[in-house]
Amino acid sequence: MDILLSIPILIFVPMLVSVLLLSPFFTSNEVLVRRFAKSVFVFHFLYSLCMLLFFSPSNPYICKIDLFGMDWIQSLGIKLLFKIDAISIIMCVLTSFIFMLASISSKFNIRKNHKFYYSMLFLLMSAILGIFTSGDMFLFFLFWELEMIPAYFLIGGKWRTDDNGIYDVDAKKSAMKFILFTFLGSMFMLLGILLLHYYNYAENGILSATFSDISEGTIPKGIQVLIAVFLLMGFGVKLPVIPLHSWLPDAHTNAPTPVSMVLAGILLKTGAYGIFRFNYEMLPYSFRVLAPILAILALINIIYTAFVCYAQTDIKRIVAYSSISNMGLILLGLAANTKTGLSASVFHMVAHGLVTAGLFMICGIVYLRFKDRDINNLSGIATVMPRLFGFASIIVLASIGVPLFAPFIGEILTIIGAMQSELSVVIKFAALFSLPLLILSSCYMLKFLHKSFTGDLKEEYVKVNDISMHEFTVLASILAGLVIFGLYPNAIIGLIG
């Protein structure tokens, strides 16, 4: 079983497929490429599901790759070490699932350069899985940087034939913005990693960069906080925390639908995962020191973005801002520094990943049919697309936090976890004040639903078709996930323990 269910297959098979798709020998037949990619994604999802089934938290998957009997870079103590523990496996399965949905929904959104598109999608998946599974700081950083290349091309590429050209230029600009912001963040992170590596070596005498070998114990307290701040700046760009968020709405808005699903569903979670892996686990002292500040930042994220969101008229922007708001909730759960808070934030990562993927899917479907994303111009979609309206209303209700669906559990658990926190009163206050999120989110999401789906339909859109089989599959599977985790949250919370 060890050989069959191993981490390298999970990570490197997508990378190999990506290279295969990029090579000139592979067929450039559109249908074949799409079917091939889709089937690989489905198999990958099944594979990761198998890994989840055979996973036991007491016995995490660990894999160490030695090249010719040597570590990767011995003189720095960098090892090719991969480790999947409870949180990693949840994120891996989520990644695999969302990518599968994205590939299914790519059929109508991607009209050009199929080989390159799927190749980049595989590369992105490989890099994200690498982030979730790497057991070494520098390896983590490698995948963190690697993810930028495919993300750039996916956001900024020209994948449609029928655009009027305006979105194309915007897409390039926002991809550049994304890459510069991310790179800036990752440079701060690199500084944190370098300092942590050095001080761990100087104080503990172990030349190693693996997570398990790092211990904060003897590092001077001031330097710990410094390192933590640098690391948080890196993750804060990805998360995003408010002053560093301005890349996100542009990137999400201008990317094609499947890419938006992936970005909001998975890519943002890497930031939260990084905070958990580095700050929460390795630097607990400085995390406790910084937790109140993080809680306040999270509160600002939640409240400020909710108001900004209400003012938006572009439906994709609404969803993008709402995901910033929700990431604030995840950050609050982490900052609480309690067991409930942690499991709540992991749970909310999954729940929000599903919800936001569904919402972006709906936006994509609407844009594909009506060529417009402004809620003031859209109206009466429900009369021609009743099935979409059904899905949209359920997913929107889920995202607001109606019981029965996963986000409700995530939100409530996060607030409970934050209230239990014994670190500081600030966190409790933050939890208390983040409760209005439920109201605010219902304001903007219901506005979105109301304005675009009800009312009178414009003349020229009478002949629009309802959702197709592909779109139905995607929305239905997201809905299934939401309901399953809403009714049985223990599937995730029990795994974290």
Partner 1 sequence: MINDIFNILLPQFVLGALILLLLILSMFLSPRQYRYARLISIIGIFSSILMLTTVQTEPQYFGLRGAVMSDSYTLLFEFLILMCGFFVILVTKNLVKTIKRNAYSFQALFLTALLGGMCIVSANDFLTLLVSLELMGFSTYFLISVSKGYHSKEAAFKYIITSALSTGVFLFGVSYLYGITGSINFSDIYEYITNNETSVIYTIACVMIVLGLASKLAVFPFANWIVDVYKGCESSVLAFLSTIPKLALFGIICRLIVFPLGNSFELTFVIAILSLVTALWANTYAIREKNVKVILACSASANASYAFLTAGLVSVYNLSTVIFYLICYAVMNISVFAFLNIYGDKNSMYVNDFKGIFHKNRGLCGAYAISIIALAGIPITSGFIAKIYLFTAIANSGLIFIPFLLMLLVLTVVALFYYLKILLPLFDECDNKELLPVMKPAFSQKFVLYICAAITVIIGIYPEILIELCRLIAYSI
What residues line the site for partner 1 (CB under 8 A)? 24, 67, 70-76, 138, 141-143, 145-146, 148-149, 158, 176, 179-180, 183-184, 187-188, 190-191, 194-195, 197-198, 223
Structure tokens, 127: 């890099």
Query: What span, in angstroms and rounded, lies between the C-alpha atoms of 410 and 92?
Result: 19
Query: What span, in angstroms and rounded, lies between the C-alpha atoms of 347 and 258?
Result: 23
Query: What span, in angstroms and rounded, lies between the C-alpha atoms of 178 and 151?
Result: 9
In the bound state with partner 1, the residue whose beta carbon lies nearer, of 68 and 459, is 68
The answer to whether 33 and 118 have CB atoms below 8 angstroms apart is yes
Smallest distance, partner 1 to C-beta of residue 439, A:
39
Smallest distance, partner 1 to C-beta of residue 187, A:
4
The answer to whether 135 and 62 have CB atoms below 8 angstroms apart is yes
Three-state secondary structure of 431-452: HHHCCHHHHHHHHHHHHHHHHH
In the bound state with partner 1, the residue whose beta carbon lies nearer, of 66 and 422, is 66
Smallest distance, partner 1 to C-beta of residue 127, A:
9
In the bound state with partner 1, the residue whose beta carbon lies nearer, of 24 and 497, is 24
In the bound state with partner 1, the residue whose beta carbon lies nearer, of 142 and 493, is 142
Q: Is 404 left (phi over 0), alpha (psi -120 to 50) or beta?
A: left
In the bound state with partner 1, the residue whose beta carbon lies nearer, of 190 and 423, is 190
In the bound state with partner 1, the residue whose beta carbon lies nearer, of 176 and 443, is 176
SS3 377: coil
Paired with 65 in beta bridges are 80
SS3 465: coil
Structure tokens, 246: 């301005």
For 256, phi then psi, to 5°, come to -65, 160
Smallest distance, partner 1 to C-beta of residue 211, A:
17
Smallest distance, partner 1 to C-beta of residue 148, A:
7
Q: How many other C-beta atoms are found inside a 10 Å radius of the C-beta of residue 459?
A: 6
In the bound state with partner 1, the residue whose beta carbon lies nearer, of 179 and 492, is 179
Smallest distance, partner 1 to C-beta of residue 75, A:
5
